[in-house]
Chain A
Amino acid sequence: MTIRTPLTLATVHPDKGLRAALGQAPIEVLEEVDRSGIRGRGGAGFSTGLKWRLASEAPAPDGRRHVVCNADEGEPGTVKDRALLSELPDLVLEGMTIAAWAIGANNGVVYLRGEYVYLRDGLEDCLARRRASGLLGHDILGTPGFDFDIHIRLGSGAYVCGEETALLESLEGRRGEPRNRFPYPVVRGLDQAPTIVNNVETLAWVPAIMARGADWFAGIGTPGSTGPKLLSISGDVARRGVYEFPFGVTVRELLEASGGEDAHAVVVGGACGVCVPAVDFAREISYEEISTGGAIIVLGPGRDLLDVAENFLEFFVDESCGQCTPCRLGNPVLLEGVRSLRRGECTAERLGELQHLGRTMQDASKCGLGQTSPNFFLSLVDRFGPEIIDRIPV
């Protein structure tokens, strides 16, 4: 694991955040997390405070609520959750415990992608240590009635299970096919009970927020994207690895830090992200500007952007769950379109049809996978017009 910058998370005092949280009423913890402005670090950017509040307010007829850690890090280009799970697992589990206190949950699950099975023993050891120290189990840290434990479930190789409702289906022993909303998981999630599903990194920041205060966190980053963010930088750079930057960092600053200054383009957000041209390298990484769960892939001079589009669309053809038509049928058509562009056989009219198809998939697909799978291709046509148009026969 290559961590390239000092991590703020590595300086957080163990269990200080949990002790601070248990010294407050759950509603105060909810308010603190809300005030920090933290948003989901898996990429979707939903307000964590709001998610927790909705789950805490949803009726739980048999008293059960669940905290699920989404450790199904599958977005191409992302390795930061693996870094956290291997280097700072206690923080993730502490974050889950604080979440449990805040929403009144008694069961926690880490859904660990099958590709990361080698992290399981370390996490189990960590869980055992926490149980032995009174940080999990009954009356946690002497708090009467606060019972919470965590177990680990392994995925089996399915990108779509990173989508929270597909993940819940998988946890219930079914195909990882996303559910209809409503209801949202905060109302009816795992086994029909109110459930929060949070990304590994989101949960890891929670102890820091409780230990240092919401104001500290909200003072970092941009108004709409608070806090530091972990980014995984790969591709044509001198120093690949995991970096921490405040939100609002520019693409150019990332390139300077990682040794990729001569980049032709940068993929921000992985296969479901966008292709950023050099003229936009002064733009910021944030939920308001260019949004990402953390995947930065740098494309150096000479890289054919259609190769990249083809690789990503092959990925989506493979990983589409096949449940809804726009995604199941749209991705193979886009893939063939990109291949025909490469062969110089795609007419301007056909390119227009492909763009239309991509926008239809964004609108009509059932889940985030199909809604985002055309993003990269569409951003290519929008932002790299000449490179694409040159491939069209006259």
Chain B
Amino acid sequence: MAMQLDLPDTVAEEGAELVAAIDDIVARHGAKRGELLPILQDLLAERGEISDLAMQVVADRLGAAPSEVQGVVTFYSFLGVEKRGRHVIRLCHTLSCVMAGTRDVAAALEDELGIPFGGTTPDGMFTLEWANCIGMCSTPPALLLDAEALGGVTPAHVREVIAALRAEGVHG
């Protein structure tokens, strides 16, 4: 059922590798339209982005229109077409966290990383985003660091966390 993609030579090699990666993911979940979200979630986790080409290949494998896949990718805040950094920090800016000091933590994060919210560090290490309520209202302010939730964070705490991740990045 898979069609042969007609790729420009310049992207053919890179494209072939991407297509193989997508085929692995699709095989894991089954080539069913209903599996689109898990497929995109895995794709993003493995590749760090969902490119135009990736959306077209996924659409082809599931028998969907590329525009439908793009519609899904752009609907969910944890998906999206932008390339994110290796670590994504999502700071909650809903009421209970804001009341407990989100603003100071936000300033420390922007200062430490040298980027505004929505940005990615030039070395590709960190993306900084706002999140709506992450269900940590009992231990505010809170953030998601990749797949982990951290509660009761302070400016000093987030500076330490970033320093530790940077050290890991250099040595690991």
Task: Report A's interface with B, CB cutoff 8 A.
Answer: 1-2, 73-79, 81-82, 113-118, 153-159, 170-176, 191, 232, 234-236, 240-242, 267, 270-271, 295, 297, 303, 308, 311-312, 315, 318-319, 321
Contact = CB atoms under 8 A, between A and B. Distances in A.
17 contacts: A73-B135, A74-B132, A76-B133, A114-B76, A115-B134, A115-B144, A156-B41, A156-B77, A173-B72, A191-B34, A234-B138, A240-B139, A271-B95, A295-B137, A311-B98, A315-B94, A315-B132
Given A77-B137, A118-B149, A235-B96, A173 B36 contact: yes
Interface string B49-91: 0000000000000100000100110011111000000000000
Contacts, number: 126
A394 B93 CA distance: 34
Contacts of B149: 115, 118
A171 B34 CA distance: 7
Contacts of B131: 115, 157
B148 interface: yes
Contacts of A174: 36, 68, 71-72
B161 interface: no
Nearest to A240: B138
A318 B132 contact: yes
A297 B35 CA distance: 37
Nearest to B129: A157
A157 to B, nearest CB: 4
Contact of A115 (B38, B62, B95, B135): B135
Interface string B34-51: 111110110000000000
A235 B148 contact: no
A311 B75 contact: no
A319 to B, nearest CB: 6
Given A173-B37, A175-B71, 7 more contacts: A82-B135, A114-B76, A154-B38, A171-B37, A234-B137, A297-B95, A315-B133
B137 A76 contact: yes
A348 to B, nearest CB: 27
A275 to B, nearest CB: 12
Given A76-B94, A315-B132, A242 B138 contact: yes
Q: Pick the most buried of B38, B75, B78, B136: most chain A CB atoms within 10 A of its CB.
A: B75
Contacts of A232: 137-138
B166 interface: no
Contacts of A154: 37-38, 41
Contacts of A176: 75-76
Contacts of A1: 138
Mostly, the A contact residues are: mixed
A150 to B, nearest CB: 15
B33 interface: yes
A109 B85 CA distance: 31
Nearest to A121: B147
A156 B135 contact: no
Interface of B: 33-38, 40-41, 62, 68, 71-72, 75-79, 93-96, 98-99, 131-140, 144, 147-149
Contacts of B76: 114, 155-158, 176
Contact of B135 (A74, A297, A315): A74
A190 to B, nearest CB: 9
A242 B135 CA distance: 12
A321 B139 CA distance: 29
Contacts of B78: 114, 155-157
Given A156-B79, A174-B72, A191-B34, A271 B94 contact: yes
B63 to A, nearest CB: 11
A111 to B, nearest CB: 10
A108 to B, nearest CB: 15
Q: Pick the most buried of A153, A171, A174, A312: most chain B CB atoms within 10 A of its CB.
A: A174
B135 A78 contact: yes
Contacts of A82: 135
A78 B34 CA distance: 29
Pairs A-B, 7 closest by C-beta atoms:
A173-B36, A156-B76, A157-B78, A157-B77, A234-B137, A175-B75, A234-B96
A301 to B, nearest CB: 13
A109 to B, nearest CB: 11
A118 B34 contact: no
A253 B124 CA distance: 50
Given A157-B76, A234-B137, A242-B138, A76 B95 contact: yes
Contacts of A270: 133
A309 to B, nearest CB: 10
A172 B34 contact: yes
B134 to A, nearest CB: 5
A240 B132 contact: no
Contacts of A241: 138
A73 B135 CA distance: 7
A288 to B, nearest CB: 26
A153 B95 contact: no
A270 B38 CA distance: 29
Contacts of B37: 153-154, 156, 170-171, 173
Contacts of A297: 95-96, 137
Contacts of B96: 76-77, 234-235, 240, 297
